[in-house]
Amino acid sequence: MIDFLWALAAGLGAGLLGGLLGIGGGIVIMPVLRFGFGLSAALSSGTCVLAVFCTSLAGGLRHVRMGHVRWQTVRPVMVAGGIASAAFSVLFLSLAGRGRWLDLCVGSVFLLVALRMMAEGFFLRRVGPRPAASSYRHRPAASAVIGIVSGLLPGLLGIGTGAVLVPAFAWFLKMPIKAAIGSSLVCFSVNAFISAAFKAAQGFVVFEHALPLCAGAVCGALLGARLNKGMPPAALKALFGLVFLFVALKYFIHH
């Protein structure tokens, strides 16, 4: 019962943070599973990607209803990302038995996310204006490449791709930021579903942790989406960037 409540609370916190900062809940869920519950690196990856699927699906549907998803661009990203997620999920079996290497890969992703968040947090006022809707570009080939890259993280590591998809949509395809976030969530929900299905079949999902994580994350995401208007995004990103930097270092020095 205590583990159930802890998992529910972790999911709630992950969803809340995702709603506040527009990042995937996996950035919180993964270290909780790895260091809080003491799961192996492989089990943490499989369980995390199932929980994050729920949050990305809920957030993606919300953005679809608000008209933020650019389907013309999303379709090739979804197809390429789905294929890549399946391929890298097969390769995950060769990495699953090498927990140290898996930890180092996940820690590297955390380090990149931490540095990006701290940069945005400390220098947010210096960032130029977001792309306007009129500058949006439809590039099928680029979309397919973005999809392949986005399938690597959930397939091979079990973590989200918001750090890849949102900048790619915003910078390379010149999407407005809301469209970039909504399109990212929709694409990742497909990648996460495929990755979670593979990892469940491979025996790397702990459902007793995954179910309360999913429930808490969905509730937290809905709450975070309502609260983010009154929160200072720069300060939050700087703060959590430092937290994620600590998490990245923990992955590197673990073992």
- In DSSP notation, the chain reads -HHHHHHHHHHHHHHHHHHHHS--THHHHHHIIIIIS---HHHHHHHHHHHHHHHHHHHHHHHHHTT---HHHHHHHHHHHHHHHHHHHHHHHHHHT-HHHHHHHHHHHHHHHHHHHHHHHHHGGGS-PPPPGGG----HHHHHHHHHHHTHIIIII----HHHHHHIIIIIS---HHHHHHHHHHHHHHHHHHHHHHHHHTT---HHHHHHHHHHHHHHHHHHHHHGGGS-HHHHHHHHHHHHHHHHHHHHH--
What pLDDT, on a 0 to 100 scale, did the predictor assign at position 15? 75
**At CA 187, angle to CA 163 and CA 225, rounded to 5?**
65
What pLDDT, on a 0 to 100 scale, did the predictor assign at position 187? 87
Q: Indicate whether 183 pLDDT > 80.
A: yes
What pLDDT, on a 0 to 100 scale, did the predictor assign at position 126? 46
Q: Please compute the mean of the pLDDT values over residues 168-189 and round it to a whole number.
A: 80
What pLDDT, on a 0 to 100 scale, did the predictor assign at position 228? 54
Structural contact between residues 48 and 29, judged by C-beta atoms closer than 8 angstroms: yes
Count how many domains the chain has. Answer: 1
Q: Please compute the mean of the pLDDT values over residues 176-189 and round it to a whole number.
A: 81
Residue 191: give the domain boundaries: 2-253
What pLDDT, on a 0 to 100 scale, did the predictor assign at position 86? 93
In tens, the pLDDT along 101-117 reads: 888 888 887 787 778 77
Lowest mean pLDDT among 79-83, 136-140, 228-232, 236-240: 228-232
Q: Indicate whether 20 pLDDT > 70.
A: no
Structural contact between residues 178 and 139, judged by C-beta atoms closer than 8 angstroms: no
What pLDDT, on a 0 to 100 scale, did the predictor assign at position 196? 92
In tens, the pLDDT along 193-221 reads: 999 999 999 999 998 888 888 888 778 87
Kindly indicate the confidence band of residue 52, based on its pLDDT and cuts at 50, 70 and 90: confident
Structure tokens at 42: 């492989």
What pLDDT, on a 0 to 100 scale, did the predictor assign at position 3? 75
Q: What distance in Å separates the CA atoms of residue 242 and residue 3, rounded to the nearest whole number?
A: 27
What average pLDDT does the structure give for the chain? Answer: 78
**pTM score:** 0.78
- High-pLDDT (> 90) share of the chain, %: 11
Kindly indicate the confidence band of residue 128, based on its pLDDT and cuts at 50, 70 and 90: very low
What pLDDT, on a 0 to 100 scale, did the predictor assign at position 83? 93
What pLDDT, on a 0 to 100 scale, did the predictor assign at position 232? 58
What pLDDT, on a 0 to 100 scale, did the predictor assign at position 19? 62
Higher pLDDT, 88 or 253: 88
Higher pLDDT, 134 or 209: 209
Lowest mean pLDDT among 3-12, 94-103, 113-122, 142-151: 113-122
Q: What distance in Å separates the CA atoms of residue 196 and residue 30, rounded to the nearest whole number?
A: 14
CB-based contacts of 174, cutoff 8 Å, min separation 6: 131, 135, 136, 137
